[in-house]
A = this chain, B = another copy of it.
Amino acid sequence: MTTTDSNKAMPFEGLHEECGVFGMYDFDGGDVASSIYYGLFALQHRGQESCGIAVSETSGPKGKVTSYKGMGLVNEVFDGETLEKMRGDIGVGHVRYSTAGESTRENAQPLVLNYVKGTLALAHNGNLINAKELKKDLEYTGAIFQTTIDSEVIAYHIARERLQSKTAEEAVRRACMKLKGAYALVVASPRKLIGARDPFGFKPLCIGKRDNAYILASETCALDTIGAEFVRDVLPGEVVTITPEKGVESDMEMALPKEKEARCIFEYIYFARPDSHIDGVSVYGSRIKAGKFLAMDSPVEADLVTGVPESGNAAALGYSLQSGIPYGTAFVKNGYVGRTFIKPKQSSRESSVRIKLNVLKEAVAGKRVVMIDDSIVRGTTSDRIVRMLREAGATEVHVRISSPPFLWPCYFGTDIPEREQLIAYKRSIEDIRKIIGADSLGYLGMERLDEMVEGLSICRGCFNGKYPMEPPKEDIRGEYFDKEIDMAKKLERNL
């Protein structure tokens, strides 16, 4: 069922898209669909709502694109027969996560379209803050919108800029220059694979190579999975064009000075897979460091350091390494909680947290436990997990958070609720500690972030309200923001 709102009724659409993108072009003419499948599979943690693949044959009739998309996980949507039919040596894929209400097949990506120069297939990760204005402008010149995703706005701009551009890549760059916000784009034109990353570099995008094929992917783990080598990251503000004739060409026209870059720190803290490297920095390494800093800055005497799975584990190891307190597993996570899992009713004796996590009594009984988590949003889940540890016999529970407190909304794709719902909003650390029932509580200091990501320039908007660009005046997240999403959603991820 699709619900389409006029932009009268809904100020801003397609918000808060954390997603994964993957593009591939095999210069030797081999089919890329199955490699895209495995690539998306490696990026599945970035989006479990829907996915899709679009491919075309560069040697075939110009611009014939075969695409398939659906709701669900990569291995639910695709079967061998479907992949088999998707012939093409160039293509893009997408996995989608959406916190907005618009969870429909219509909004699945890649977006495939005909325009003046043939066809385009486009996959996008990120969130535009001027999509509303852009949409209005487009509509005032006769555009129609069939989805509520930003990608359609981007596609229109590419199509329109194409009229005044010599090449597709020029059109992509000219379109990008009109966009404000976060985006990592992968575009397959009939003969070119084009990638673009916004000037702030909010979202990651990297280049890989396997034999005579080039890959663009949100994370390096997708390269490892398909046996490709990492070539380099696409730079913030860069547009790369991949063709058999010229290999990888770079256009840096819209790049900013390095110090203005504003990577999303949450890619390191929990979005990305730990085995990925983003802009030269190991995600795993940054988490280990965060844990070490916590041990230095918020030390405590304890018998066990443990992480809330999965994203807290690396920081817990770091804390252990620094503090000398033994690391251990305290939780067993049920890895089968999926998209279609039936949540217990309020009235029932079961609880969502207990179904997803169980405590290893042997590991914690009689021990003073340091429990590391990546963040606290509303605090309700933290409260329950602390209680579970105590019930299992932990004598003390010291909570350490591998990020600073959330105090501000994010407009660039990270799913953070309204300030009023943030536990840290207008509360002292001591207040929070009491609410979650911990014996002590420590957050990662803001000053540690630089070191954590080896000096890369990052966005700290959710911590200090200072955004790399003027945020929209009205709350663009509007009615679509789903207030139920929190730790529980994160717990459903397997990495």
A interface residue numbers (CB < 8 A to B): 1-10, 34-35, 37-38, 41-42, 44-45, 61-68, 73-76, 78-80, 82-83, 85-86, 105, 111-120, 135-136, 139-146, 148, 152, 155-156, 159-160, 163, 190, 210-211, 221, 224-227, 273-275, 282, 284-285, 288, 313-314, 317, 321, 326-329, 332-338, 340-342, 344-345, 348-351, 354-355, 358-363, 494-495
Contact of A354 among B75, B227, B314 (CB under 8 A): B227
- Other A-B contacts than A5-B114, A8-B63, 16 sampled, CB-CB below 8 A, are A8-B118, A34-B344, A34-B348, A38-B350, A41-B341, A42-B355, A112-B146, A144-B156, A211-B349, A224-B358, A225-B355, A226-B349, A275-B360, A317-B327, A327-B327, A494-B494
Q: How far is the CA of A120 from the CA of B9 in the complex (A)?
A: 14
CA distance A333 to B310 in the complex (A): 11
Residues of B within 8 A of A118 (CB): 6-8
List residues of chain B with CB within 8 A of the CB of A79.
340, 342
B145 close to A113 (CB less than 8 A): yes
Contacts of A341 in B (CB 8 A): 41, 75
Q: Give the docked Cα–Cα distance between A336 and B139 (Å).
A: 40
Rounded to whole angstroms, the CA-CA distance of A159 and B341 in the bound complex is: 37
The count of identical subunits is 4
**Chain B neighbourhood of A85, CB < 8 A:** 1
Residues of B close to A155: CB separation below 8 A: 144
Cβ contacts A to B, 14 pairs, < 8 Å: A1-B67, A2-B65, A3-B65, A4-B65, A4-B119, A10-B61, A35-B349, A75-B341, A114-B144, A144-B159, A221-B358, A225-B350, A227-B350, A275-B361
* Distance from A95 Cβ to chain B, minimum over Cβ atoms (Å): 10
Inter-chain CA distance A341–B115, complex, in Å, is: 35
Instruction: Report A287 CB to chain B, min CB distance, Å.
Output: 10
**Does the CB pair B67–A362 fall under 8 Å?**
no
Contact B68 A2 (CB under 8 A): yes
